[in-house]
Amino acid sequence: MQHFSSAPPPHFSTAVYIPEVWRYCNPDSIPPELALLAQAGRELHVELIVDTQRPEMLNGSIVGAATEIICFRQMSPAAMRVTENLLRDTGNEFDPAQLRALPLGSFVGFNRLSGASLSGKIF
């Protein structure tokens, strides 16, 4: 007898992209569906990709589940504090001066699991 699962095969992933995700949550509340994506998405083979210019406005469910962080130029002290907190104890070196000095279109990416980083320019 052969059993079939309704779950997608492990190699299959669906990506959900939410621009300016702070519009849909705040530090104190988050819609249950968004919390589920952030907290259990990997188990469901769903990759959650979000962007924000206001990281200080994000809910802990999203921030805590982030495995990679890609930063463009940051000037806000509040955004810098969030980035520093996200990278604490990850093996990544946080340099606020580097993020403030990034030219437009340049980025620094951080992997919170491996401690690796990558920089580049998209335009």
* Alpha carbon of residue 71 to chain centroid: 10
Residue 20 is assigned to a structural domain of this protein = yes
Residues 52 and 31 placed together within one structural domain of the fold:
yes
Residue 109 is assigned to a structural domain of this protein = yes
Residue 93 confidence class, pLDDT cut points 50, 70, 90: confident
Residue 118 is assigned to a structural domain of this protein = yes
Structure confidence at residue 4 (pLDDT)? 43
Does the pLDDT value for residue 1 go beyond 70? Answer: no
Predicted model pTM: 0.80
Instruction: Output the CA angle 88-67-22, nearest 5 degrees.
Output: 90
Residues 78 and 104 placed together within one structural domain of the fold:
yes
Residue 5 is assigned to a structural domain of this protein = no
Residue 2 confidence class, pLDDT cut points 50, 70, 90: very low
Residue 57 is assigned to a structural domain of this protein = yes
Q: Is 38:61 a contact under the CB 8 Å cutoff?
A: yes
CA dihedral 21, 23, 29, 35 (to 10 degrees): -30
Q: What is the mean pLDDT of the chain?
A: 89
Residue 71 confidence class, pLDDT cut points 50, 70, 90: very high
Q: Distance between CA atoms of 83 and 71, rounded to whole angstroms?
A: 9
Residue range(s) defining the domain that contains residue 61: 11-66
